[in-house]
Structures are given as C-alpha cells and as structure tokens.
Amino acid sequence: MMRFKMLATSLSITFALIASLIPEAALAGDAKDDRPIKLHATAMEGPIGKVASFGEVVVDGRAIYGERSIWGGQMVQAKAASARIRFDSIGEVTLAGGAMARFAAVRNEEASGKVLIAQLVAGDIAVRLNDGAGAYAEARGSVFTASRGAEFRLRIREGEVLLDKTEGEVVEQQDQQRKYIIRPVGLGANISVRARETRQIQMRVTDENDNPVPDIPVIFLLGNPGAGSFGSGAAAASSVTVTTNAQGIATTSFTAGPGAGSSSMTATVSGTNASWTGSIGISAAAAGGLSATTIAIIAAAAAAGATVAVVATKSDEPRPITVSPPVVRP
C-alpha cells in the first residue's frame, strides 16, 4: 500500500487524486447539466500500462529495452528514440526522444470512467484517449483537463508550455498559484567537475517575499544522461526528486561520467513554472593524478619522517604506495 500512498506526493498534483472540479466536457459525456462533476478518484492497483520502444527508455533511473510494465508514479524518459505507453482502458501516450514524464491512472467513481494523470517534466508528449477516458496533464505549473476521447500534444520549449489540440476539448485551469523562486546555493550558471568526481548540488526555493519554502519537491534533471548521474548507489539516475529542508534547500550530489563532456542541468519546483537551468562541464581526469586519499596518506607518512615512494600507473589502475622507514644515522 505504500506505493499508492506515495503516488500523490511524487506527482505533486494531489488535487487530482482527492477531489477536483472538471468541466462538463471532460467527463460528463452527453449530460447537459451545467454543474461541474466532483471527482472522487482512487489510485489503480497494479501496473497501469506498458511502455515499448525500439531504443533505450529509462524508468525511474533504470534503462530498459523492448517492452515492460510500469506502475503509477514512475518517471519515464525516452532517450534518442520515441517511446509509446499503452494504458489499459485509457489510451496511449507517445514520448518524443528526450521527453520525460510521470504518469498515474485513477478511476473516477462518479463519472464511471478512468482518468490519466500526466506530469510532463521535459520535451513533448502526444496523448490519444479512448472514448471513455479523460485526462489531467500538468507541465511547469500549467494544468489541463481533457475531454473523453481527446487527442492533444503538450510541449515544453524554452520554459514555455505549448498545447496543440487535434481532437476533443482540452481546457487549461486558471487557478491562482503561489509563486516560487529557485536558485543555486554557492554555484554559478556553469558548474565544473572532473571525470568520475562527485559534487554536491544545492538549490534554494523561496516565495515571492524571499521566505524559504520547506517540504516542497524539486526535480533535478540532467539534459545528457551519459554525462553522469544524480544521487548514489542504486538510486543514481539522470533525474531525481528531492524535498527541501527547513531552510528551503534541496540537496543532491552529481557524479560525473568517465569521460570529458558537458550537459545542461535543470532544477524545477515540481508542479510549478519555477525553474533554473545551468550547465555542467566535465573535464578529463588528470593523467597519473593522485586522489585526495593518496595525498593524505603521503602527507601523514612524511609528517612521521618516512621516506615515501609513489609509483604512478595508468589513471584507471591502482596506484601502489610504498612507505619506507626513515634512515637513521649515528
């Protein structure tokens, strides 16, 4: 059950999973009542669809090929090739190459239908709904509701959200949103790091009065997944969501890949249009260079009066260290 309790937080559009107003066109079908429908939605259990692609797809930071099932709340990123997700009794979504989005599916108990919930983080998605299914779509703080059987494309271009409708009705909600500002802590717009090194990344979120905003999710996104990863261990991925602390700071780590290169990095306050974009430049590791640990050992040995001999080998091989006792003369 924990998977479904975490779903609303990860999507950061919890109104869609609890209660919201949908225009008549979205889920009312042929009814002529002008009153909006109150949505009481429950998360669907089990997998919500299957993703398929001829190229690599990343699901929650793990690369997959071919076809596999996805669960509600999982982040899906299409790499170079497009990817298609088929949702049972809802329809299908196509992610263009480079697009990243998170999905959920809920049952609308009052309107007797299913609702797709999509949060677009980057790139383009095309949505095609079945006749009996509606949809919510969110991108950078803009929220849209789609009528049953609608077809539309949602795009993020240079911070702007663009909507193309081809079938049915798609309405943008005009709810007033709290304004946020996000900026780096102790970093410039251009971040430098050596290959295989790790660097801490911090972003501060404030409101329009410059007050820190705690407990709000921030999405860190790497433009070039091959440049490195955020986080560590099994959680390392090209995108990670981190919640701000009491000072409004979201902290993660970036570990560079093995080779020189560069990538854009975007930090976005989830569910809003507050975003910061910078670049990460990765320089090659110094040939034959010594690690911080090696330097510390040498310094300690020298302080003890030992004669230190360092044998440098190729940069990707171990560097043996020989410590000889000091020479004592009478």
Are residues 230 and 204 both part of a single domain? yes
Angle formed at CA 210 by CA 208 and CA 212, multiple of 5 degrees: 110
Half-sphere exposure of 47 (CA within 13 A, CB side): 10
- Print pLDDT tens along the chain (330 aa): 333 334 434 444 333 333 333 333 333 333 334 434 333 344 455 788 999 888 888 888 788 888 888 888 888 989 888 999 999 889 999 999 989 898 888 876 555 578 898 989 889 999 999 998 989 898 887 889 898 899 999 999 877 889 998 888 898 876 556 788 999 998 877 888 999 899 999 999 999 888 999 998 898 888 888 888 888 776 677 888 889 999 999 999 999 988 888 888 888 888 777 888 888 999 887 655 455 545 555 555 555 555 444 444 434 444 444 444 545 454
pTM listed for this prediction: 0.54
Burial 175-200, CB ≥16 within 10 A → b, else e = eeeeebbbebeebeeebebebbbeee
Angle formed at CA 224 by CA 220 and CA 226, multiple of 5 degrees: 110
Are residues 265 and 301 both part of a single domain? no
Are residues 90 and 224 both part of a single domain? no
Domain boundary among 172, 198, 213: 172
Are residues 275 and 319 both part of a single domain? no
The whole domain housing 276 covers: 180-283
What pLDDT, on the 0 to 100 scale, is given for residue 28?
Answer: 35
CB 258 within 8 A of CB 195: yes
Six-digit token string for 299: 């310094």
CB 171 within 8 A of CB 145: yes
Whether residue 120 is contained in a domain is answered as yes
Question: Is 9 strand, coil or helix?
Answer: helix
Structurally, the chain folds into a number of domains equal to: 3
pLDDT tens digits, 21-76 = 333 333 333 333 443 433 334 445 578 899 988 888 888 878 888 888 888 888 89
Are residues 7 and 156 both part of a single domain? yes
**Contacts of residue 56, Cβ cutoff 8 Å, sequence gap at least 6:** 63, 64, 65, 79, 80, 81
pLDDT tens digits, 298-312 = 555 555 555 444 444
CB 56 within 8 A of CB 35: no
Q: Is 234 exposed, middle or buried (0-12, 13-18, 19+ CB in 10 A)?
A: exposed
Six-digit token string for 176: 């007033």
Are residues 67 and 167 both part of a single domain? yes
Q: Is 328 exposed, middle or buried (0-12, 13-18, 19+ CB in 10 A)?
A: exposed
